[in-house]
Amino acid sequence: MGRLAWGCLVMGFVMFLTVPGALAWSKEGHELTCRIAQSLLEAEAEEAVKKLLPDYVEGDLSALCVWPDRIRILYKYRWTSPLHYINTPDNECSFDYSRDCHNANGVKDMCVAGAIKNFTSQLQDYRQGTGDSRLNMTEALLFLSHFVGDIHQPLHVGFTSDEGGNTIALRWFRRKSNLHHVWDKEIIVDALKDYYEKDLELLLEDLQRNYTDGIWSDDVPSWSHCEDLSNCVDGWAKESIQVACRWAYKGVEAGMTLSDEYFNTRMPWVMKRIAQGGIRLAMILNQVFGASQEGFVAAA
């Protein structure tokens, strides 16, 4: 092969790896969710999580919360791709587990809601000593942590025909983007730039302030209340498609330019969903690994 051909091949591969919008909550979104979650772990859960993480992350769960996005393109993990989202019928603005939770071949449970139930029950069985030893519990923890983030990204529970906004090409201020990517990344990155000196730490502190004694502090008990995990997870998916309809899709058409008005009115929703994801991930991990060993009623 000539140099040009090699160049094209390499370029093609690089583009394939970086195709925008094919990923989930950006790195920033997942990192925030996992950092919030880890800060809310009780001692037993904190210890169990640290034991499952590889040494090189030094106990920091958030360092690997994007792992499921990095590996989904590998042949071995291709089956995990549908676990990042749910396609719901166009314009219905509802989620029904038995109708919507399947992959493109119709295999049941292969969606983000099914995955959260699956990996929670794997971790719960492991905790109770009844797990299947062939399963990798480090992977289960990373998948769970990632997917609890994803299910809170409203457009990960979006319409089928536009692939959760991925095919709605538009401009975000002057940049080319698409609606899905605006919610995954653009809003978070611009919020960091405009309000937090590009410092994720400052944004994290603001989120934490808002749920400890700020605008959301009264809501936290209801966010994290959960007895039957299966119902709770379905509820989170329903919240997402409703926010998607009322805020993400609303007034948006392909080819438009979204700017200040959209940014200012949608940013609070992005932040709230990130906080909810973190608080709920902590709730799951505390229930699974907590001292009480109560666990959930029928996790899967």
Ligand X SMILES: *[C@@H]1O[C@H](CO)[C@@H](O)[C@H](O)[C@H]1NC(C)=O
* Site membership for ligand X, residue 210 (CB under 6 A): yes
CA dihedral (183, 152, 24, 207) positive or negative: positive
Angle in degrees, 0-180, between the axes of helices 260-289 and 43-52, rounded to the nearest 10: 100
Amino acid at 80: T
Angle between helices 260-289 and 137-152 (to 10 degrees): 150
Q: Which of the stretches 14-22, 134-142, 229-237, 284-292 binds ligand X when contact is defined by CB under 6 A?
A: 134-142
Locus of tokens 């000539």: 2
Beta pairing, strands 175-178 & 169-172: antiparallel
Residue 206 found at the interface with ligand X (CB under 6 A) = yes
- Closest by CA position to 114, among listed 135, 144, 72: 144
Of the candidate spans 111-119, 161-169, 217-225, 255-263, the one that interacts with ligand X by CB under 6 A turns out to be: 111-119
* Nearest distance from C-beta of residue 28 to ligand X, angstroms: 12
Give the range of 169-177, 178-186, 205-213, 234-242 binding ligand X by CB under 6 A: 205-213
| 8 A C-beta contact, residue 183 and residue 243 | no
214 binding ligand X? (CB under 6 A)? yes
Least CB distance to ligand X at residue 292 (A): 26
Which of these segments, 7-15, 22-30, 114-122, 281-289, binds ligand X (CB under 6 A)?
114-122
Rule CB under 6 A: choose which of 39, 128, 138, 161 binds ligand X: 138
Using CB under 6 A as the binding criterion, the count of chain residues that bind ligand X stands at 17
Q: Sign of torsion, CA 214 215 217 223?
A: negative
Alpha helices in 153-219 (DSSP H): 179-181, 187-195, 200-212
Pick from 135, 291, 297, 298 the residue near ligand X by CB under 6 A: 135
Instruction: Indicate whether 12 belongs to the interface with ligand X (CB under 6 A).
Output: no
H-helix or E-strand containing 36?
helix 27-39
Q: Is 114 in the site for ligand X (CB under 6 A)?
A: yes
Residues of this chain, 51-110, that bind ligand X according to CB under 6 A: 83, 109-110
Q: Which two tokens stand for residue 39?
A: 């800060």
Residue from 42, 44, 60, 139 binding ligand X (CB under 6 A): 139
3-state SS, residue 122: helix
Rounded CA Rg of the chain? 19
Shortest distance (Å) from residue 222 CB to ligand X? 18
Q: Are 121 and 299 in contact (CB under 8 A)?
A: yes
Please, which residue, 22 or 137, has the CB nearer to ligand X? 137
- Cβ proximity to ligand X: between 59 and 214 the closer is 214
- What is the pattern of x (binds ligand X, CB under 6 A) and - over residues 221-260? ----------------------------------------
Encoded tokens for 236: 């989170």
Provide the binding-site residues for ligand X, judged by CB under 6 A: 83, 109-110, 114-115, 118, 135-136, 138-139, 203, 206-207, 210, 214-215, 271
